[in-house]
Each structure stands twice: as C-alpha cells, then as structure tokens.
Structure 1
Amino acid sequence: MKPGKEELALAIDVAEWGWLRVHLERDGLILISSDMDLAEAGWRIATDDTPVISGWIESGTVGKPSLAQIAKWDEDKGKQFQMLIVSPYILIQDKALNIQ
C-alpha cells in the first residue's frame, strides 16, 4: 500500500549531511527544490507519477545534487536538511529549518 501525503508529511525529519552522504554514494539521494512541498514530492515519487516527476526533472526542481553542492556540504558535515524516506530513495531539501 502506498503512503498518503498526510502520512508522508508526518514522516519528514531532519538529518545532517554527514548522515546522508552514504545514501549519495549508493545513488539513493534526491534533492528537492526548497520551494516545493516535500510531502507532495514524496507522494508523487511513491505513486510513480511519471509525467509530473519527469516535468520536475526537466525543470531542475528535482534531481541529483551537483558536484559543487556536494563539495560545499562536505565542508560542513553538520549541515542540516529536511529529509523524507521514500524507499529506496532519501529525499532531501535544503531549506531553513524551523526547529523549536
């Protein structure tokens, strides 16, 4: 059974780059643009909504991190991201975190 958007929204967490790097090395890390809804992106990926996902990839709002981004994050392994697991992928978002 595929998870719903509400369930995915509740599963969003915070992770440090040092913890996420291993997923990059296994090609399982997907960067989601900071202006997108992470739960919506996760739901589209979980339900294999190919037309929408293809459009996002073409527009550059969803994709693999660039070498420049990776190099910058490697300098700050404590950098935090919002993250969502949509197996086999880890979706990350580089946006201001409102941690209370």
Structure 2
Amino acid sequence: MIEREELMRETAKIPWQKLQRFFANGSTIYVSPELDLIEVAWAICQDDKPQIEAWLGVGQVGQVTDQQAMTWLEGDARLWSVVVKPWVLVQPISV
C-alpha cells in the first residue's frame, strides 16, 4: 500500500506537453487549486468514495477537459502532478 510520504516524494511540476499522452488515453484527472493534491491522491488510494464523489459533484475533481488541455498546451503550462495508478492527477500551479 502506498503511503502519504511516498505520494509527496512522487509529486512534481511537469510541463503539460509531457502529460498529453496520458490525456489522450483518458487517464488524467484535474484537481482544483483549492484542494491539496496529496489529500486528493490519498483519498483515491484509500478508495474514499464519499469524499471523491463530493469533489466530483462540485467540479473540484474530474477528467481533464479538451478545453483545459488546449489552454494548458497553448500557454505552455507546468502543472503539479502525481501518479495514482491508473490515474495521473494534475493541478494548475497557483501563483
């Protein structure tokens, strides 16, 4: 089982261009900047369905949309990311 500390060590800033192949196969998950990326990853690891459904319900977590992908590509965006197989969670970097 994965630990929170491991998730923290595996979190990195990555250019969207390097994540596009994961988007193409439908495995990228958007995490709102309002949330803690590690907490979301941990909830997924723990299969915390009520919490995940709550985030999904208010749009704080969800599949990356075509519009988001295009905006990030055009803006040469760097995103926080962490892998929680089979997903790659991505979060815009707050300035």
Q: TM-score, normalised by structure 1?
A: 0.86
Identity %: 29
Deviation at 1:6, TM superposition (A): 2.3
Output one character per residue of 1:37-69: Cα deviation in whole Å (capped at 9) or x when no partner. Answer: 111110111111111101110011000122321
Structure 2 unaligned residues grouped into runs of 5+: none
Match of 2:80 among 79, 82, 93: 82
Give the counterpart letter for 1:12 in structure 2: T
* SS of alignment partner, residue 71 of structure 2: helix
User: Is 1:50 aligned to residue 49 of structure 2?
Assistant: yes
Structure 1: runs of 5+ lacking an equivalent: none
Give the C-alpha shift of residue 75 in structure 1: 1.5
Equivalence for 2:64: 65
Which range moved further: 46-55 or 3-12?
A: 3-12
Which residue identity does 2:86 align to in structure 1? P
TM value normalised by structure 2: 0.91
What corresponds to 1:25 in structure 2? Answer: 24
